[in-house]
Amino acid sequence: METPGPPELGKERIDGKVCISVSRPHPRSRIGQFYFGERKEGVRAPRVQPKQRLMTLLDKFDRQITDLRISITDRCNFRCVYCRSADPENYRDHDQILSWPELDRLANIFLSLGIRKIRITGGEPLVRAGVEEYIARLHALGVEDLSMTTNGHLLAERCERLIDAGLRRINISLDSLDPAKFESITRTKSFSTVMHGIDVAQKSRLGPVKVNAVLVRGLNDDEVESFAEFARERGVIMRFIEFMPLDADRTWTRSHVVPAAEVYKRIHARWPLAQIPHERSETARKYRFADGAPGEIGLIAPVTQPFCGHCSRIRLTADGKLRTCLFSKDDHDLRGLLREGASDLDVETYIRSIVDEKEEGHRINAPGFVPPSRTMVFIGG
Ligand code: SAM
């Protein structure tokens, strides 16, 4: 029987020997050649069809950026304690949020630059009217991997339409299996609605469904084994996410973090786990149950085992800012550029220059770390 150890600390850190690929040309050489050298003033770069999209987006550490998380709204119908504040609404005005035509245009530009995976998120993506139509347009553009993260509250009634539109995968947040605790974490009365959403998703063509729990010490860390049992009984991929310093109330401390290694040990002691190979850029370390039970465990450890060295992600916020890291100090204003009348080429060139400067790592564990001013709901997880 396979006996994998727990995820190893430090393995995923930036390591030049591991992550630098010499066979891949640097984007700046392509910019020089294609955009600033051979290209004539006023001539548009040909818009490539999905199958012909050959461009790659690389940063200065030669990480290939293929994944884009698009937050389509900063609004949410939940107020999870580890994410949003209980304070009154503090959403941005509608005109500050990217319109659907702006989102369409940016998606097309990102795809032409080499983005292959798009995850729709928020806020809560299902609260924005028109999301099915947007997904259908992304699907028509040829996005290879189209997924969504949702709290599941509105999922049951929308699931089939989302799939018909082209959605292929879904992650549903569920932070407790105890209805009362779930309701105090999310500050809603939605436990049974979310469980129904998970049921519907599982019976749909979306499977296998991923269920995400953010573990916070003293809040829901007593439920690790119950979540694992839930994975086995329901055949879902149960993913445990370490609590990150992105909460609105700024209550995060290191002592609130439940390390992935602890989660692994506890589950493995009860139901031995066997590691499943993963792609370098995947956020989760994946395990199946060694006894052959259905379901899977995923451990996402951004705090105790950062995986920045192989990060392939960038994020577009609902108000049109590009972020190269969840913990970026700065964000970059694509909305302003679009609204000032920039050409696609201007936007592409700007995106390349921002991506080139993507942070080496998030620095949560560095002395003097300061959390970003934007919290998770305003970034898009
Ligand atoms: N509303 C959707 C949902 O609940 O899944 C999508 C947006 S939510 C911001 C995306 C993900 O971020 C969720 O899985 C949520 O649990 C996670 N998240 C929010 N705040 C977090 C934090 N401080 N640390 C870790 N994960 C967090």
Contact 243, 214 (CB under 8 A): yes
Residue 281 has a pLDDT of 86
Listed in sequence order, the DSSP H helices in 45-190 are 100-113, 131-141, 155-165, 179-186
Question: CA angle 227-166-232, nearest 5°?
Answer: 15
3-state SS of 185-199?
HHCCCCHHHHHHHHH
> Using CA of residue 182, residue 186, residue 187, residue 188, what is the dihedral sign?
negative
Quote the pLDDT of residue 1. Answer: 34
Q: How far apart are CA 368 and CA 343, in angstroms?
A: 40
Output the CA 35–ligand 1 centroid distance in Å. Answer: 38
Decide which of 26 and 285 is more confident: 285
Strand 313-316 and strand 321-323: pairing?
Answer: antiparallel
CB 84 within 8 A of CB 44: no
Residues contacting residue 251 through CB under 8 Å, at least 6 positions apart: none
- Beta-carbon contacts of residue 63 (< 8 Å; ≥ 6 apart): 19, 309, 310, 311, 312, 358
Q: How far apart are CA 331 and CA 146, in angstroms?
A: 24
CA atoms within a 13 Å half-sphere pointing along the CA-CB vector of 245: 18
- Which of 289, 323, 285 shows the shortest CA–CA distance to 304? 285
| 148 within ligand 1 shell (Cβ under 6 A) | no
Lowest mean pLDDT among 46-60, 64-78, 241-255, 297-311: 46-60
Q: What is the pLDDT, as a whole number, of residue 66?
A: 97
Alpha helices, H only, 275-369: 334-339, 344-356
- Does 25 or 22 have the greater pLDDT score? 25
**Number of other CB atoms surrounding residue 277 within 10 Å:** 6
Q: Binning pLDDT at 50, 70 and 90, where does residue 279 land? A: confident
Which residues have C-beta within 8 Å of that of residue 82, sequence separation ≥ 6?
175, 185, 214, 216, 219, 243, 247, 252
The tens digit of pLDDT for each residue in 311-334 reads 999 999 999 999 999 999 899 999
Does residue 254 surpass a pLDDT of 70? yes
Please determine, for residue 18, whether its predicted confidence score (pLDDT) is greater than 60: no
- For the CA of 242, the closest atom of ligand 1 is 25
Cβ(82) – ligand 1 distance below 6 Å: yes
Confidence check: pLDDT of 129 > 80: yes
Q: Which atom of ligand 1 is nearest to the CA of 71?
A: 7
For the chain, give the longest Cα–Cα distance: 66
CA of 223 to the centre of ligand 1 (A): 18
Q: Ligand 1, closest atom to CA 173?
A: 5
Is the beta carbon of 364 within 6 A of some atom in ligand 1? no
Mean pLDDT score across all residues of the chain: 87
Res 8: pLDDT: 44
7 versus 294: the higher-pLDDT residue is 294
pLDDT of residue 54: 62
The one-letter amino acid at 40: K
- Mean pLDDT, rounded, for 164-184: 97
Both tokens of 241, joined, read 């996410």
Whether residue 153 contacts residue 194, with contact meaning beta carbons closer than 8 Å, is answered with yes
Residue 357 neighbours by CB distance under 10 Å = 12
Q: Is the pLDDT of residue 205 over 80?
A: yes
Task: Give me the pLDDT at residue 89, please.
Answer: 75
Which pLDDT value is given to residue 6?
45
Contact 69, 313 (CB under 8 A): yes
Q: Is pLDDT at 207 greater than 90 in this prediction?
A: no
- How many angstroms from the chain centroid is the CA of residue 74? 15
Predicted local distance difference test score (pLDDT) of residue 53: 53
What is the share, in percent, of the chain residues with pLDDT greater than 70? 86
Q: What would the mean pLDDT of 281-285 be, rounded to a whole number?
A: 93
With 80 as the cut, is the pLDDT of residue 7 above it? no
Instruction: Give the contacts of 295 (CB within 8 A, at least 6 positions apart).
Output: 230, 231, 232, 233, 234, 235, 236, 237, 238, 288, 289
Q: Which residue among 241, 251, 283 has the greatest number of ligand 1 atoms within 8 angstroms of its CB, and so is best to mutate?
A: 241
Cβ of 124 below 6 Å from ligand 1: yes
**Could you tell me the pTM of the whole model?**
0.87
Residue 19, classed as helix, strand or coil, is helix
pLDDT by residue (tens digit) across 71-127?
999 999 999 999 998 876 788 999 999 999 999 999 999 999 999 999 999 999 999
Q: Is the CB of 376 under 6 A from ligand 1?
A: yes
- What is d(CA 66, CA 340) in angstroms, rounded to the nearest whole number? 27
Report the pLDDT averaged over residues 65-71.
Answer: 98
Indicate whether residue 173 lines ligand 1 (CB < 6 A).
Answer: yes
Q: Which atom of ligand 1 lies nearest, measured to the CA of 244?
A: 24
SS3 202: helix
Summarize the confidence of residues 161-178 as an average pLDDT.
98
Q: Is the pLDDT of residue 194 over 80?
A: yes
Give residue 64's pLDDT.
96
pLDDT confidence of residue 328:
93
Could you tell me which of 315, 313, 273, 314 has the C-alpha nearest to residue 290?
Answer: 273
Enclosing H/E stretch for 280: none
Q: How far is the CA of 268 from the centre of ligand 1 (A)?
A: 26
150 lines ligand 1 (CB under 6 A): yes
pLDDT, residue 156, reads 98
- Quote the ligand 1 centre to 128 CA distance (angstroms): 17
Inform me whether the pLDDT recorded for 43 exceeds 50: no
pLDDT at 240: 98
What's the confidence (pLDDT) of residue 28? 35
- pLDDT at 221 > cutoff 60: yes
